[in-house]
RNA sequence: GUCCCCGUCGUCUAGUGGCCCAGGACGCUGGCCUUUCAAGCCGGUAACGCGGGUUCGAUUCCCGCCGGGGACGCCA
């Protein structure tokens, strides 16, 4: 194989870009980029009843978000109908394919009959194999498949795979509406686009022998194949909508970083060595290789994704986190765009949240007037008479203190002195304060929290809390 | 049912005959740190599906079984 492969990702636009598709796209992209090859994006939209334009857009957006850029395309199969027709006609002329006039109903009847007779697998009986040709009558095109023998190929990840020809029938390659069927469309496209490595889900293994036979009938050299293991849901079944969160868009909206997604997906089926889990984009580009893709299916684990997401949030600068955080806040109805505290929230919360959405949800309290919601338990425990003097002291300090006395370090010093003075642990003062400021007992350091809330607002919140003490 | 693929901790994986009484990571869990919650650090938990071979020696090779997944369309 030459050094610079041409690979492709060929989704069908019948819904969202799901996790499995994204992983396939990623592996192809990495493979191409790593070797300086070409990555082609092709839209397999020949099923007119299921393909939609919105879906094409969703797929494009998803790839863009993941940073998977393509060199050629998107090429739509529906723009290439003449090419398929031409290839089909070539096969018919050489008698390697024939027109079949059986209606779907008739074929269905044959299928039923064969099943009743106990056939293991349906095979088209070849009714039209030798019929006179009537190009003007409604028909499909079937390819003549060998009746004996076998086809073997060496899969880049699975090794040698052999398929007996008796499991292959005279496949329909063109349907009556003049559009190609999957197995024909891919072959014509991959061949004419010069694709030399096809990496796709291993649910396509069965199709591969048929496709190789089609390559051969057409007189093209088959590419190399790499069948990637499936991604399963927690119930070990093929990942599907039933499993809930399977679309790339969903993760984006839930506040995941695209790089966390990439890092997670790449580890589903691929590993570098016995210890590396974290990969930057550059490292991936340097190390990824189809040779190290495993053979067995992987279960999608949302918790590990979350862990990676937090990891990458911690690696991302506060400035870069600010704007996606603002977007998440906007989804909660809070306009924080341009607020200088955004970077501060990112700094203090990236180790405290698994996603940007979670970060926005916990941090929204800094962008509202007063505390909208109190944790009842916390309130009962800390907004009590015993806390009153401490809350008052802090409030008065905030009111009276000079700027340098109430900046974070000044405040911290003052508070420690005060606690020592009362011979109390800092917690005795900090916890009631937390509840007053954010409505619950968990927050960043108490002085950071005060600074986030802001002096004026902190005073108001403490007063409000004092009013709640009966 | 038939054909194909797969089978190491709950999960993602390393491992290509001795380095493995199996390594890393997520999760779970004990501890440390600490004004709370996280994060971080240290420790623990837990796996080679089963049965036959081959071999001085099998997680690694072969066969059978079992288990899981996938494919059997005028879907892709």
| Predicted structure pTM score | 0.94
More confident residue, A161 or A239: A161
User: What would the mean pLDDT of A325-336 be, rounded to a whole number?
Assistant: 96
- Name the nucleotide nearest A272; use CA and C1': B14
Is there contact between A303 and strand B, defined as CB under 7 Å from any strand atom? yes
Q: Is the pLDDT of residue A2 over 60?
A: no
User: What would the mean pLDDT of A133-158 be, rounded to a whole number?
Assistant: 93
> For a pLDDT cut of 70, what percent of chain A falls above it?
99
The A 313-372 residues near strand B by Cβ under 7 Å are: 314, 351-352
Q: Is the pLDDT of residue A169 over 70?
A: yes
**What is the model's pLDDT at position A24?**
97
User: What would the mean pLDDT of A243-262 be, rounded to a whole number?
Assistant: 92
Residue A57 CA, nucleotide B56 C1', distance (Å): 64
The A 182-211 residues near strand B by Cβ under 7 Å are: 182-183, 185, 202-207
User: What would the mean pLDDT of A417-427 be, rounded to a whole number?
Assistant: 86
**What is the model's pLDDT at position A40?**
98
- Residue A248 pLDDT grade (very low, low, confident, very high; cuts 50, 70, 90): very high
User: What would the mean pLDDT of A288-303 be, rounded to a whole number?
Assistant: 95
User: What would the mean pLDDT of A335-343 be, rounded to a whole number?
Assistant: 94
Contact A192, A82 (CB under 8 A): no
**What is the model's pLDDT at position A363?**
96
Q: Is the pLDDT of residue A171 over 90?
A: yes
Paired residues of A298 in beta bridges: A231
The rounded mean pLDDT for chain A is: 93
Say whether A241 is catalytic: yes
Q: From CA A150, how far away is CA A148, in angstroms rounded?
A: 7
The A 80-109 residues near strand B by Cβ under 7 Å are: 102-104, 107
Among residues A4, A113, A237, A241, the one annotated as catalytic is A241
Paired residues of A141 in beta bridges: A99, A174
B68 closest protein residue (CA to C1') = A236
Q: From CA A304, how far away is CA A298, in angstroms rounded?
A: 13
- Name the nucleotide nearest A227; use CA and C1': B5
User: What would the mean pLDDT of A344-373 be, rounded to a whole number?
Assistant: 96
**What is the model's pLDDT at position A404?**
60
Q: Is the pLDDT of residue A374 over 70?
A: yes
Query: What are the tokens at A351?
Result: 């180790």
Q: From CA A401, how far away is CA A410, in angstroms rounded?
A: 10
**What is the model's pLDDT at position A173?**
96
B71 closest protein residue (CA to C1') = A206
Element (H, E) at A187: helix A182-192
More confident residue, A2 or A241: A241
- Residue A242 pLDDT grade (very low, low, confident, very high; cuts 50, 70, 90): confident
DSSP A4: S
**What is the model's pLDDT at position A424?**
82
- Residue A403 pLDDT grade (very low, low, confident, very high; cuts 50, 70, 90): low
DSSP A75: E
Q: Is the pLDDT of residue A228 over 60?
A: yes
DSSP codes, A264-326: HHHTSSB-SSSS-----HHHHHHH--GGGB-SS-EE--HHHHHHHHHHHHHHS-HHHHHHHHH
Q: Is the pLDDT of residue A1 over 60?
A: no
**What is the model's pLDDT at position A130?**
87
Residue A270 CA, nucleotide B8 C1', distance (Å): 16
Residue A143 CA, nucleotide B12 C1', distance (Å): 42
**What is the model's pLDDT at position A406?**
64
| pLDDT tens column, A8-60 | 999 999 999 999 999 999 999 999 999 999 999 999 999 999 999 999 999 99
**What is the model's pLDDT at position A419?**
87
User: What would the mean pLDDT of A215-235 be, rounded to a whole number?
Assistant: 95
Chain B nucleotides near the protein (CB, 7 A): 1-8, 10-15, 23-27, 35-40, 68-76
Q: How many CB atoms lie within 10 A of CB A458?
A: 21
- Residue A354 pLDDT grade (very low, low, confident, very high; cuts 50, 70, 90): very high
Is there contact between A152 and strand B, defined as CB under 7 Å from any strand atom? no
The A 30-59 residues near strand B by Cβ under 7 Å are: 44, 46-47, 50
- Name the nucleotide nearest A354; use CA and C1': B38
């Amino acid at each position: 194989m030459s050094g610079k492969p041409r690979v492709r990702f060929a989704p069908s636009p019948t819904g969202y870009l799901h996790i499995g598709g994204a992983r396939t796209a990623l592996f192809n992209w990495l493979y191409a980029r790593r070797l300086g090859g070409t990555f082609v994006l092709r839209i397999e939209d020949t099923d007119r009843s299921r393909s939609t334009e919105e879906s094409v857009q969703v797929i494009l957006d998803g790839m863009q978000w993941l940073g998977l850029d393509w060199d050629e395309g998107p090429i739509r199969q529906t723009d290439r109908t003449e090419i398929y027709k031409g290839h089909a006609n070539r096969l018919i002329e050489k008698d390697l394919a024939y027109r079949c006039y059986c209606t779907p109903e008739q074929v269905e009847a044959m299928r039923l009959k064969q099943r009743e007779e106990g056939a293991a697998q349906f095979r088209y009986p070849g009714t039209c194999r030798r019929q006179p040709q009537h190009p003007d009558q409604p028909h499909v095109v079937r390819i003549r498949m060998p009746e004996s023998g076998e086809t073997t190929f060496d899969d880049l990840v699975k090794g040698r795979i052999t398929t007996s020809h008796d499991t292959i029938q005279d496949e329909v390659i063109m349907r009556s509406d003049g559009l190609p069927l999957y197995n024909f469309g891919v072959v014509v496209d991959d061949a004419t686009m010069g694709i030399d490595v096809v990496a796709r889900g291993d649910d396509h293994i069965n199709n591969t022998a048929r496709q190789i036979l089609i390559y051969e009938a057409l007189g093209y050299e088959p590419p190399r194949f790499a069948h990637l293991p499936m991604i399963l849901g927690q119930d070990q079944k093929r990942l599907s909508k039933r499993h809930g969160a399977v679309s790339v868009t969903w993760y984006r909206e839930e506040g995941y970083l695209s790089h966390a997604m990439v890092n997670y997906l790449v580890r589903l089926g691929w590993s570098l060595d016995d210890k590396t889990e974290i990969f930057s984009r550059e490292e991936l580009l340097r190390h990824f290789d189809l040779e190290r893709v495993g053979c067995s299916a992987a279960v999608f684990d949302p918790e590990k994704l979350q862990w990676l997401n937090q990891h990458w949030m911690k690696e991302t600068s506060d400035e870069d986190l600010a704007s996606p955080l603002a977007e998440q806040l906007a989804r909660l109805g809070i306009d924080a765009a341009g607020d200088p505290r955004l970077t501060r929230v990112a700094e203090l919360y990236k180790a405290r949240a698994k996603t940007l959405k979670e970060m926005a949800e916990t941090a929204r309290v800094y962008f509202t007037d007063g505390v909208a919601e109190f944790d009842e338990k916390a309130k009962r425990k800390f907004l009590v008479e015993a806390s009153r003097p401490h809350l008052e002291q802090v409030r008065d300090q905030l009111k009276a203190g000079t700027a340098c006395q109430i900046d974070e370090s000044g405040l911290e010093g003052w508070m420690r002195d005060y606690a020592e003075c009362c011979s109390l642990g800092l917690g005795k003062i900090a916890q009631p304060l937390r509840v007053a400021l954010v409505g619950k007992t968990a927050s960043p350091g108490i002085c950071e929290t005060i600074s986030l809330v802001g002096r004026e607002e902190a005073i108001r919140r403490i007063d409000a809390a004092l009013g709640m003490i009966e």
